[in-house]
Structure 1
Amino acid sequence: MRIVRRQPVVPWYAATRALLLLLALNVLPYFNRGAVTGDVKLYHQWITESFDHGRFPLDDQKWQYPPGAAAPLLLPHWLPGSYYVLFFLMCLAADVAVFAMLLRAARRGDPEQPSPAGPWLWTLGIAAIGPMAYGRYDLVVTASAVAALTVTLRSKRSTAVARGVLIGVGAFLKLWPAAFLFGAPKRRNGRLLFGVAAATAAIPTLALELFFPGVLSFLTNQKSRGIQIESVFATPFLAGKWFGWSGHIENTQYGAYEYIGPGVSLAGKAALVSTAVGVVVLLLIRRRVAVRGGFPFPAMMADVGFAGVLVFVVTSRVLSPQYLVWLLGVAAVCLARRETLMRTPAWLVLGAVSVTQLIFPLFYHSLRGGQIYSGLILMGRNAALVVAAVLALRALWRATGPASGPVLSGVLLGEDRRDGVRLVQDEGAPLDREVGRGGVEHGPERVVDGVVGPGRVGADSLVERD
């Protein structure tokens, strides 16, 4: 493929993934083998003790997943060979699929000068997480999520259906891709996408509930969880240990180290309130979009989805390393388009990810012991994620507000500059070049101009509207 030959990121990607696979397979030694295989061992235990006997592991408090999670856990078990080796290879395949989709998205955004930022962020980010990324099934979920954001068929209707199916599959596996629905297009195709996504996730879930009563318990079985030591809301207790806070850290039944002591319950309630506030802000952004008649430029679904996932991650009571895989996948999709509003938040996420292995597993013992240096690293990581979330919401709020020129029925007139992107007149056309494959000579004047200079051709040129 031409895009592969012209992208210098490809050999770097291949080299880093070969290294990660060798580390995961223990061909090369990793300094904490348990950090790579711990979750895979738990998955295999669920299979041998529960799934092989025709039931879900509902009596284990560590099972906190939608019922669709059983599929990627069982797939390596159904194939001949070592479960561990096949699980790592499955994750590698998902990783490669994400990278290929990012290259394709970059080329579709600008055939002559594809943006290398998305593939590079994915390459560097997963490498920074290390072989732990292959020891969780989150890469499979992320592949479904990236596919939902990048798939483009020949019509708007078929694209909406495809995206809805993929979002529903992602939510069936691990819920968080449902955040993309905040960025669904307006009117008929938006309703179609939302309905297909809901049906794809709900129908198999309800069917499984009929045969395996209790599989919906994942919706409520985390209500008693405390504050995991890596989460943003653990910061007061992390610092409090340095100044005599009387609480302690305990490895709970949920399989995570959590703070136990004064103020923890209040922090848990504050986390839930913060999540609700973030959801309200995202809903208000959608309301502003409705008033204006549509999103102001193409690929806005990825930007809104990234902001939504950021909100859920930073306001969660748990923040495990695999959560960062989600953020990297969606951030990379955003950066595959030069006109994204998420450039700064996306690179902040990469900066936060860069210290992941320092926090877990390298300094995790000292973190639990209350050491200052490891605590400061964690605080810096979490601060970067919080700033990224605030900047992402701020960028969406500004982009969906009143335009500097008049807005008539969602058609932006005049000129408006936001975050280095100049929006110019649009005559109204399909989203994302989803109808046919015509170039700029077959369509209206481009919406996004001045991003890569006057020589740019083939860029997404249409206002995202239904």
Structure 2
Amino acid sequence: MIGNALDRGRPAGPLFEWGISRLLMLMLVFGLVTLPVADGNDGEVSIYQHWLSIFQSGRFPVGDDTWQYPPGMSLAVVAPVLLFVLTYKKAFFVAAFLVDAAVFAGLVRTGRRPERSMVGAWVWTLGVPLLGSMPYARLDMTVTGLCVAALLWLPSRAGAGSALAGVGATMKLWPVLVLLGIGSKEAARSAWKRALAVAAGICLVLGAVLPGVWSFAIGQSNRGLQIESFGALPFHVARHFGWPGQVQLAYGAMQFTGPYVELVSRALLVLNVLALAWLLWLRRRLPASFFTDAAPSFLGLTAVLLCVFTSRVFSPQFMLWTVGLAAVGTTWRTSAMRAPARLILAACGFTLVIYPFTYWDVVNSTWSAVATLAVRDGLLVAAAVLLLRRLHSATTAARTRPVRAGALVPRPHTADEVAPTG
């Protein structure tokens, strides 16, 4: 479905699909339609409501090992209160729907412009429901919406785009990685300064209002190896050959305990640093012609995938990040991100199988669960390989000939060709 035929498609196509799929998602989260397995949505939002009561008491959730977010995430927890005519749980679902709608509207408006594509709107339309109803019951919808808005604004409103990336970084750090795609030293310096200034300002204000602003770091640093992470796959296999480890609930997630788990967890932290350092080294070798308007989503998606591979944690909502980045990256008609986007959409489908449908199989490390995890991981690795191959090709080609700018973007942008998400 993601092909040339959709480049200049009418918005009525994705609008119809978006409307039907979102209606079903709303029916699921509101309990009008139920799945044969528990989806955990009520439990997650109940945790957020508990945090809200703590914020209202005038502090951060100090001592709560499930609070593992940078301080800006408190704003996303409190935001549904603005829909005061609804209970918190219902308001949370409606707020997530509104963010989803804003992202879709921004992608459609961008896709209708000359030399742009409706493929990005289709990627978002298909990718979100492929994760089930979960995106409407997680804080990651807000973070992803901010990142998409930042990417859509960066080409024409660099100040606003970098500021939004800074806001997103106060909720989860990954949105600021899109700034790696800004090529000009002066522009990059300005964008990073603005993003860091906004992030620092938000953290300082929240710290002055609510004590315990940095309490999240304790829970985050103490987390173990989540059973859905890349590093956990060998332990799933090892359980079938006598490995004596166990699965236990800790820090709000199911994670492995036993021999070598701590060693692998520490190795992943080292690999995370090395992977990002390698990407930065590769970025420095890219020619200036590579840094078109698509570069922030391209490099941002590459960095996020590398972080996911080397993380001790892989929650299903992480896939929402990749869908948002891939959606923006495929709004160009000659985008090099279409093949990775297909692989990411396929990985979303396998993620839905993992959670919630066969989650207890994952807990018990059945062979079917191991196979499903392996396929999902393989699809994401393949997407990353395609992105990294393009980066490597750009660095090697630059030694003999200029990189064709159209490899990512067909032509330079004009200031009125990129629309905000609202």
**Same fold per superposition (TM over 0.5):** yes
Q: Select the residue among 340, 350, 359 that pairs with 1:355.
A: 350
Q: Secondary structure at the match of 2:36?
A: coil
Q: Select the residue among 17, 26, 29 that pairs with 1:21.
A: 26
Q: Select the residue among 67, 72, 79 that pairs with 1:68.
A: 72
Partner Cα separation in structure 2 for residue 224 and residue 369 of structure 1: 23
Q: Secondary structure at the match of 2:186?
A: helix
Aligned to 1:409: none
- Given that residues 185 and 301 in structure 1 are in contact (C-alpha distance below 8 angstroms), is that contact kept between their aligned partners in structure 2? no
The Cα of 1:185 is off from its aligned counterpart by 2.8
Give the 3 Å change call, closer, same or farther, for CA 417–38 of structure 1 in structure 2. same
Aligned to 1:433: 414
Deviations 1:393-438 (A, max 9, x none): 22122224443754xxxxx4xxx669x94999x9xxxx5223x67x
Residue 178, structure 1, aligned to residue 176, structure 2:
yes
Give the 3 Å change call, closer, same or farther, for CA 376–162 of structure 1 in structure 2. same
Partner amino acid, structure 1, of 2:167: V
Partner Cα separation in structure 1 for residue 191 and residue 114 of structure 2: 22
Partner Cα separation in structure 2 for residue 378 and residue 307 of structure 1: 20
Partner amino acid, structure 2, of 1:76: P
Give the 3 Å change call, closer, same or farther, for CA 72–421 of structure 1 in structure 2. closer
Residue 275, structure 1, aligned to residue 268, structure 2:
no
- Given that residues 155 and 413 in structure 2 are in contact (C-alpha distance below 8 angstroms), is that contact kept between their aligned partners in structure 1? no
Q: Secondary structure at the match of 1:318?
A: coil
Q: Select the residue among 140, 143, 159 that pairs with 2:142.
A: 140
Q: Secondary structure at the match of 1:433?
A: coil
Aligned to 1:461: none
- Given that residues 335 and 408 in structure 2 are in contact (C-alpha distance below 8 angstroms), is that contact kept between their aligned partners in structure 1? no
- Given that residues 39 and 136 in structure 1 are in contact (C-alpha distance below 8 angstroms), is that contact kept between their aligned partners in structure 2? yes
The Cα of 1:162 is off from its aligned counterpart by 1.2
- Given that residues 231 and 310 in structure 2 are in contact (C-alpha distance below 8 angstroms), is that contact kept between their aligned partners in structure 1? yes
Aligned to 1:462: none
Residue 266, structure 1, aligned to residue 266, structure 2:
no
Give the 3 Å change call, closer, same or farther, for CA 422–68 of structure 1 in structure 2. closer
Aligned to 2:212: 214
Deviations 1:356-391 (A, max 9, x none): 221111111122112111221111111211222232
- Given that residues 11 and 118 in structure 2 are in contact (C-alpha distance below 8 angstroms), is that contact kept between their aligned partners in structure 1? no
Aligned to 2:5: none
- Given that residues 296 and 400 in structure 1 are in contact (C-alpha distance below 8 angstroms), is that contact kept between their aligned partners in structure 2? no
Give the 3 Å change call, closer, same or farther, for CA 43–371 of structure 1 in structure 2. same
Deviations 1:121-178 (A, max 9, x none): 1111111111111010111111110011111676xxxx22111111011111222101
Q: Percent identity?
A: 37
Aligned to 1:443: none
Aligned to 1:446: none
If asked which structure has higher relative contact order (CA below 8 Å, sep 6+), I would say 2
Q: Secondary structure at the match of 1:354?
A: helix
- Given that residues 341 and 396 in structure 1 are in contact (C-alpha distance below 8 angstroms), is that contact kept between their aligned partners in structure 2? no
Give the 3 Å change call, closer, same or farther, for CA 52–207 of structure 1 in structure 2. closer
- Given that residues 334 and 409 in structure 2 are in contact (C-alpha distance below 8 angstroms), is that contact kept between their aligned partners in structure 1? no
Partner amino acid, structure 1, of 2:133: P
The Cα of 1:209 is off from its aligned counterpart by 2.5
Residue 382, structure 1, aligned to residue 377, structure 2:
yes
Give the structure with higher Rg (CA).
1
- Given that residues 303 and 342 in structure 1 are in contact (C-alpha distance below 8 angstroms), is that contact kept between their aligned partners in structure 2? yes
Residue 77, structure 1, aligned to residue 84, structure 2:
no
- Given that residues 109 and 336 in structure 1 are in contact (C-alpha distance below 8 angstroms), is that contact kept between their aligned partners in structure 2? no
Aligned to 2:123: 121
The Cα of 1:211 is off from its aligned counterpart by 3.9
The Cα of 1:294 is off from its aligned counterpart by 4.8
Aligned to 2:56: 52
The Cα of 1:208 is off from its aligned counterpart by 2.4
Residue 10, structure 1, aligned to residue 4, structure 2:
no
Q: How does 1:147-166 map to 2 (within 5 A)?
A: 147-151=149-153, 159-166=157-164
Partner amino acid, structure 2, of 1:11: F
Aligned to 1:327: 322
The Cα of 1:33 is off from its aligned counterpart by 4.2
Q: Secondary structure at the match of 1:251?
A: strand
Partner Cα separation in structure 1 for residue 379 and residue 334 of structure 2: 23
Deviations 1:286-330 (A, max 9, x none): 2113xx335354321111111111111121111111111111000
Partner Cα separation in structure 2 for residue 405 and residue 301 of structure 1: 25
- Given that residues 344 and 388 in structure 1 are in contact (C-alpha distance below 8 angstroms), is that contact kept between their aligned partners in structure 2? yes
Q: Secondary structure at the match of 1:340?
A: coil
- Given that residues 59 and 211 in structure 2 are in contact (C-alpha distance below 8 angstroms), is that contact kept between their aligned partners in structure 1? no
Partner amino acid, structure 1, of 2:165: I
Give the 3 Å change call, closer, same or farther, for CA 20–423 of structure 1 in structure 2. closer
Partner Cα separation in structure 1 for residue 118 and residue 291 of structure 2: 23
Q: Secondary structure at the match of 1:432?
A: coil
Partner amino acid, structure 1, of 2:413: D
Aligned to 2:36: 31
Q: Secondary structure at the match of 2:221?
A: coil
Partner amino acid, structure 1, of 2:370: G
When normalised by structure 1's length, the TM-score is 0.82
- In structure 1, list runs of 5 or more residues that go unmatched: 407-411, 438-457, 459-466
Q: Select the residue among 241, 245, 257 that pairs with 1:243.
A: 241
The Cα of 1:34 is off from its aligned counterpart by 4.7
The Cα of 1:109 is off from its aligned counterpart by 5.2
Q: Secondary structure at the match of 2:248?
A: strand
- Given that residues 60 and 210 in structure 2 are in contact (C-alpha distance below 8 angstroms), is that contact kept between their aligned partners in structure 1? yes
Residue 365, structure 1, aligned to residue 367, structure 2:
no
Q: Secondary structure at the match of 1:258?
A: strand
Aligned to 2:310: 315
- Given that residues 105 and 333 in structure 1 are in contact (C-alpha distance below 8 angstroms), is that contact kept between their aligned partners in structure 2? no
